[in-house]
Structure 1
Amino acid sequence: MKLHKEGKGTLISVIIAIIVISAVSYYFLQNWALLIIVPLLVLYGFILWFFRNPERDIKDQVENVIAPVDGKVVMIKEVEDHEFIKGKCLQISIFMSPLNVHVCRYPVTGEVIYKKYHPGKFLVAWHEKSSELNERTSVAVKTKTNHQVLFRQIAGYVARRIVFYPEIGDAAKAGHEFGFIKFGSRMDVFLPLDIEVKCKIGDITTGGIDVIAKLPQA
């Protein structure tokens, strides 16, 4: 199983803590220490599994908007973005539970033209206002179809660390990794109103694979 690089520090810290706690527990409790050690090993197994980074067969995309993460579509709604688009657009939101793969991928192909980190609150990620109030990152790409697409990583109640790698001027390739969110969160994608939506609320998405919308031709 391939692990994501963002898990290295967490996994090392956790295994050291487990070794110390296990040693102390065995010293004082002998065989009864298994009641502590076994749950700790199960927890470590979950953390190890959380940081999995499965190989995906990523296709070249031009007009298609690809699901940026594994999760569940929880919102498809016309909204007004005041940060970058400065007008009305269509928001598609995908919620990630702690059980999902948390690799974040570009939804479209083009060039990175905007990036910003926003400190904020830690409302539950499915809360509608989390897109505006929570800690988040914003990235915009000018697509090869000459559209501007904005997308956000949003921290949730459990997720407390967002990592994103893009720099302005970078080439963005739909389905390819641009960041990671630790332990449950949400991603929002903001698209032109005349987009052709290819998903519905409740759909389960596979990041980098599933098509959630199609951009109008330039």
Structure 2
Amino acid sequence: MRFHPAGKTIIRNTILIALALNLIGWLFVSIPIVSGLLSLTALVILVLVLQFFRYPNRKVQLNPKQVICPADGKVCVIEETQENLYLKQKCLKVSIFMSPLNVHINWVPVPGKVTFLKHKEGEFYAAFKDKSAEENERFCTAIQLADGREIMANQVAGAVARRILNFLEDGQQVTQDMEMGFIRFGSRVDLYLPLDTKLKVKLGDKVTGSQTIIGELS
């Protein structure tokens, strides 16, 4: 199993903590059940961290007329809304909620040119709550399609997620097999799409990043 570079430091520190807990149990705890619980706790923590930063090998089918899913998770919002930060127009919003058990890599949803990148400070409400889209810390990315239209993809922090990574640069040409970023420990991604996008998902659907087709562009 491969692990994402975003987890390198956390994985290393977790291994050290797991070793320390085991040493404490072996050297300083004389009660076998307590020593066993320390070892079990260390193992559980390590397994959870390793599965969180797992790096799946996925082949992406490139299609400029399709919007691919930017993250693993569950569709928690589909609605028409006004995007006021950059696009400043009505959009079709599709949100994907990622639990701590999901892969947390974020993929580029459409090919084009990065025209807007902005990190916004904010709160840390639970990512599945509606107000998290506007009030939580987030990283906003706009991509201009070949026909001049733009879409927005916002990486939103959650109650547990406190670190959003974005790997793109302003003006960069991107394709759908590229990583947009990574969010550590539970979060969501909000897509703001043209109103005439033909959706291929519905509320409550489980989706897979870089594999599921969110919609088709007109």
**Corresponding residue SS for 1:183:** coil
Residue 199 of structure 1 and its aligned partner are, at CA, apart by 0.9
Say which of 66, 83, 89 aligns to 2:85. 83
Residue 176 of structure 1 and its aligned partner are, at CA, apart by 2.2
Matched, 1:26 2:26: yes
Measure the CA separation in 1 of the matches of 2:177 and 2:39.
39
Q: Say if 2:77 and 2:94, in contact at 8 Å, map to a contact too.
A: yes
Indicate the residue corresponding to 1:176 in structure 2: 178
Q: Say if 1:58 and 1:176, in contact at 8 Å, map to a contact too.
A: no
**Corresponding residue SS for 2:119:** strand
Q: Could you list the per-position Cα deviations for residues 167-207 of structure 1 after superposition, in whole angstroms to 9, with x for gaps in the alignment?
A: 01111112421100111110000011111111110111111
Measure the CA separation in 1 of the matches of 2:207 and 2:56.
15
Measure the CA separation in 2 of the matches of 1:142 and 1:157.
31
- Runs of 4+ with >6 A deviation: none
Measure the CA separation in 2 of the matches of 1:196 and 1:208.
18
Measure the CA separation in 1 of the matches of 2:172 and 2:190.
20
Q: Say if 1:63 and 1:214, in contact at 8 Å, map to a contact too.
A: yes
Indicate the residue corresponding to 1:119 in structure 2: 121
**Corresponding residue SS for 2:29:** helix
Indicate the residue corresponding to 1:14 in structure 2: 14
Matched, 1:131 2:133: yes
Which one-letter code corresponds to 2:205 in the other structure? D
1:40-189 matches, within 5 Å, as 40-189=42-191
TM-score, normalisation: structure 1: 0.96
Show structure 2 runs of 5+ residues with no match.
none
Q: Say if 2:14 and 2:45, in contact at 8 Å, map to a contact too.
A: no
Measure the CA separation in 2 of the matches of 1:107 and 1:177.
9
Alignment: residue pair count:
216
**Corresponding residue SS for 1:48:** helix
TM-score, normalisation: structure 2: 0.96
Q: Say if 2:17 and 2:42, in contact at 8 Å, map to a contact too.
A: no
After superposition, the CA RMSD in angstroms is 1.1
1:190-201 matches, within 5 Å, as 190-201=192-203
Residue 21 of structure 1 and its aligned partner are, at CA, apart by 2.4
Which one-letter code corresponds to 1:28 in the other structure? F
Measure the CA separation in 1 of the matches of 2:201 and 2:155.
19
